[in-house]
């Protein structure tokens, strides 16, 4: 375990485990925290896992972790590791099992007071149209061969099927499709698991949440993103369902069988990896892109059903129930990107596991509406707590390969949360606080209790203070549909 004596504070919110900590570390490990969050980090193996990622072949500059870091599979969740292209490695554990788990923020022109009389019906309709639960199938029936087209074209498939608008795609990371996905490199078992799950929420920490904009911190950015105090907005948090999970399992197993061919020695077998340029590395990259595209399409179909819910509940009762997209971002992904390092441009594979891309102003990959202010960053809370809209900054480009936090960060295991919290009581507490709750399982609700997570406001204060994101608006929940 890493102890406090093993690292040093190098800035108000930045700490470093030096390369000399262990002989096998190729670079130092840096993480972002305040004193309270630091105490949480020392309570699990996340900092040890961070040091482990600093041993990966080809790792560039630093192994990094955001203030929402917690223990994960091999890599810590909240970890960011860039490896040199093409000789560095790619690791499925550095992406995670829920490939392209991410967040989409939708907005309305409605004030909370206009929706309040119909909020209970709206929550029920959202729960009805957006299936949730472990292994749950959805309303979309794919024709033979259609799944392959879906995973190779992502949100463009949804556009052709009438589930999306052109504007939705523009306001989605990678326009909702990562080029180079290859359905031929995905197992039949993964395809079978993904066949009927398009447009479903899943379980675990996934949710749809209706929020009210509580406070605006940056008027210019709020106007650009269309946000205002009292406004009703909607978050979707989910990913690639069983399809992505199976792809991760398949390639972890394949990498374990071939890693000896590359002469790579690892401190933890869960870090299993392969050179980016190797056949195994290239195959995983193409399969991972397929899972990422599945997730983009999944959130897009859920968006369609959210619009349908607003239409069915609010049409004729409010002036304008139109729901438009602010942005959609990925949390679990490895992407080939160009960054500046020590005064020169380098091409790297950036693993963001439980971390968010946070490109700053001027990035050519951002949609025109956001290019001069930076990329919207969406940081969901934990049902009873706030969520945040932030912006990427020059600081995130300089310090973290254009990355920042992705959420509050878990600090209590799911099993302990279930022993600590009674789901029915939690629902009563949330509803007494004005939050409408729809959940298929009280045990699942208990697992995701707010007390199982760190204080998201503290996490955001750290990334804002460290300059790797910038506050735009704070959101508070008024209805939760739990996966």
Residues carrying an active site annotation? 406
In the chain the first and final C-alpha atoms are separated, in Å, by: 34
Q: Residue 194's closest CA among 237, 231, 150? A: 150
Are 325 and 303 contacting, i.e. CB atoms less than 8 angstroms apart?
yes
The partner residues of 236 in beta bridges, in order of sequence, read: 104, 208
Write phi, then psi, for 391 (nearest 5 degrees). -130, 145
Cα of 90 vs its chain's centroid, Å: 19
For the chain, the C-alpha Rg in angstroms (whole number) is 21
Give CA–CA dist 373/371, Å, rounded.
6
Give CA–CA dist 155/138, Å, rounded.
17
- Strand 376-379 versus strand 387-391 pairing type: antiparallel
**Count helices and strands in the chain by DSSP H and E runs:** 16, 19
Are 412 and 362 contacting, i.e. CB atoms less than 8 angstroms apart?
no
- Is residue 481 within a helix (H) or strand (E), and if so which, with residue range? strand 470-482
Token pair 């790619």 in the structure block, residue:
90
Burial letters 273-303, b for 16+ CB under 10 A, else e: bbbbebebbbbbbbbbbbbbbbbbbbbbbbb
Give CA–CA dist 481/436, Å, rounded.
8
Give CA–CA dist 214/349, Å, rounded.
37
Write phi, then psi, for 207 (nearest 5 degrees). -165, 165
Give CA–CA dist 399/470, Å, rounded.
14
Give CA–CA dist 470/26, Å, rounded.
31
Give CA–CA dist 78/69, Å, rounded.
4
Q: Which two tokens stand for residue 389?
A: 């809209």
Angle at 459 between CA 455 and CA 465, to 5 degrees: 140
In sequence order, the 6+-apart residues with CB closer than 8 A to the CB of 22 are 51, 55
Q: Which two tokens stand for residue 334?
A: 């490895």
């Amino acid at each position: 375990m890493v102890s406090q004596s093993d690292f040093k504070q190098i800035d108000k919110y930045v700490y470093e485990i030096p390369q000399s900590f262990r002989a096998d570390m190729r670079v130092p490990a840096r993480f972002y925290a305040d004193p309270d969050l630091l105490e949480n980090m020392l309570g699990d193996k996340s900092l040890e896992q961070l040091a482990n990622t600093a041993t990966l072949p080809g790792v560039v500059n630093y192994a990094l972790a955001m203030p929402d870091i917690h223990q994960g599979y091999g890599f810590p969740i909240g970890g960011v590791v860039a490896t040199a292209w093409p000789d560095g490695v790619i690791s499925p554990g550095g992406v995670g099992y829920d490939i392209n788990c991410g967040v989409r923020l939708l907005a309305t022109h409605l004030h909370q007071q206009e929706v309040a009389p119909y909020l209970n019906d709206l929550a029920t309709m959202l729960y009805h149209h957006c299936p949730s639960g472990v292994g749950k199938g959805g309303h979309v029936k794919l024709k033979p061969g259609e799944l392959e087209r879906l995973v190779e074209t992502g949100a463009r498939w949804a556009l052709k099927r009438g589930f999306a608008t052109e504007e939705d795609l523009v306001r989605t990371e990678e326009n909702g499709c990562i080029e180079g996905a290859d359905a031929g490199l995905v197992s039949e078992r993964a395809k079978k698991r993904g066949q009927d799950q398009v447009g479903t929420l899943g379980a675990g920490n996934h949710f749809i949440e209706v929020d009210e904009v509580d406070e605006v911190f940056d008027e210019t950015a709020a106007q650009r993103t269309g946000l205002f105090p009292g406004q009703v907005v909607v978050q979707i948090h989910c990913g690639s369902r069983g399809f992505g999970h199976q792809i991760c399992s398949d390639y972890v197993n394949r990498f374990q069988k071939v890693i000896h061919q590359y002469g790579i020695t690892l401190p933890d077998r869960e870090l299993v990896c392969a050179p980016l340029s190797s056949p195994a590395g290239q195959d995983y990259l193409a399969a991972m892109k397929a899972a990422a595209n599945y997730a983009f399409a999944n959130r897009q179909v859920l968006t369609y059903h959210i619009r349908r819910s607003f239409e069915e509940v609010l049409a004729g009762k409010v002036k304008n129930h139109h729901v438009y997209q602010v942005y959609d971002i990925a949390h679990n992904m490895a992407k080939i990107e160009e960054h500046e390092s020590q005064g020169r441009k380098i091409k790297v594979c950036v693993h963001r596991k439980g971390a968010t891309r946070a490109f700053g102003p001027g990035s050519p990959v951002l949609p025109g509406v956001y290019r001069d202010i930076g990329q919207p960053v969406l940081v969901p809370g934990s049902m009873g707590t706030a969520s945040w809209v932030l912006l990427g900054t020059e600081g995130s480009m300089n310090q973290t390969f254009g990355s920042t936090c992705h959420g509050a960060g878990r600090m209590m295991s799911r099993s302990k949360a279930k022993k600590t919290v009674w789901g029915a009581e939690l629902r009563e507490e949330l509803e007494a606080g004005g939050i409408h709750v729809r959940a298929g399982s009280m045990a699942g609700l208990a697992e995701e209790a707010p007390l199982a997570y760190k204080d998201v406001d503290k996490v955001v204060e750290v990334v804002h203070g460290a300059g790797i994101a910038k506050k735009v608006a704070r959101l508070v929940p008024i209805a939760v549909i739990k996966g």
